[in-house]
Structure formats: structure tokens, C-alpha cells
Amino acid sequence: MSSFSTLVGIGVAFGAAAFTLIVLLRFLRGSRRRERPVHLAVAGAASPVPPSWEEKRRHPRVAVSWQTEIEEAGVSRAARLRDISLGGAFVVVSAPPAAGCELRLTIFPPHAAPLALNAAVAWSNAAVPEERVVHRGMGVTFRANSAEDLRRLHEVILGLLSRQEEAP
């Protein structure tokens, strides 16, 4: 009987070790899925954009507070940028246009010349009740811009990041 109880003890120990290993592997695999994209903050700007678990952006966003002008169907109006990336931006505006609308944004970064970019409204929170909105506005994607305009946008963002690194 002694050898039987030894075998049972070894079986229980092996089963417990296997169970622990499975739980550990599932935990590690699950924690990798919850990783968030990197968000960059700019010196003198608002705090970084809070990450969302659904976020699937290709370019990191930089939080800013810049004046911009929206031109839609020949009509211009003032707005404010909350964040920007190489692929798009969030524009704070009281009455955002509908998704799909083509725009021309003239952005006024504080340490660079104005930058005019073609954009399209990707989404807006126009239909969200006022009490649930922090900033009324829209997300835009930059579209059909020249290589020169995209190069200048890249330089503006890099300039902001380098000033952030130099700040004490």
C-alpha cells in the first residue's frame, strides 16, 4: 500500500504543478492583451490623451491646445485642437460636421508657421448628450495631403517632442 500512496502523492503534486503552470500562462497571455499604446505629452500642453482599450491608432497622439480654423464648403470657423498625430487629430468645435465630411484645417502651432491640411471627419460626438461630453468635437483623419505638408506636420510634432525633452 505504501507504493500506491506514493504514486497518488506524485500524481497529485504533478497535477497541482500543471494546474499552476496553466493558470500562470493564461495570466501572462491576458496581461499582454491589455497593454496600452504609448501616448506622448507636449510641454506646456494638456495632459496626455487617456488610452482606451479599444484604441487601434497607428500613430501616437500628442496632447496640445492649439488654435485651428475649419473650412467646410467654403465657410470658415474657429476651433481648437486637443491632440494631434501624423494620422489625424481631435478638434474641439461646438457643432461638429457629420462623419465623412471633407474639411480643410489650418492649424496654428505656437512655434511654427501655420499648417493647412486636408482632412475628413472620422467621427463626432454631436449626438452625445451634453452631460456625457467633456469636449464637444470630432476626430479627423488627414487625407490627400502632399508629401511636403506631411513632412511639415512631422517636423512640427518632432519639434514639440524635442522641446518637451529639453524642458526642466
User: pTM of the prediction?
Assistant: 0.62
The pLDDT tens digits for 100-157 are 999 999 999 988 899 999 999 999 888 777 777 778 899 999 999 999 999 999 999 8
| Long-range contacts, 79-82 (Cβ 8 Å, 24+) | 79/137, 81/107, 82/46, 82/49, 82/135, 82/137
In this structure, the answer to whether residues 26 and 90 fall within a common structural domain is: no
The per-residue pLDDT for 34 is 43
Tally the domains of the chain.
2
Confidence of residue 80 (pLDDT cuts 50, 70, 90): very high
In this structure, the answer to whether residues 77 and 123 fall within a common structural domain is: yes
In this structure, the answer to whether residues 74 and 122 fall within a common structural domain is: yes
The pLDDT tens digits for 18-46 are 666 676 666 666 544 444 444 444 444 44
- Between 59 and 36, name the one with better pLDDT: 59
In this structure, the answer to whether residues 114 and 51 fall within a common structural domain is: yes
In this structure, the answer to whether residues 158 and 112 fall within a common structural domain is: yes
In this structure, the answer to whether residues 73 and 133 fall within a common structural domain is: yes
- Domain boundaries, position 16: 1-35
With contact defined as beta carbons under 8 Å apart, do 137 and 85 qualify?
A: no
In this structure, the answer to whether residues 145 and 73 fall within a common structural domain is: yes
The per-residue pLDDT for 113 is 93
In this structure, the answer to whether residues 133 and 155 fall within a common structural domain is: yes
The per-residue pLDDT for 120 is 96
* CA atoms within 13 A of residue 27's CA, in its CB half-sphere: 6
In this structure, the answer to whether residues 77 and 10 fall within a common structural domain is: no
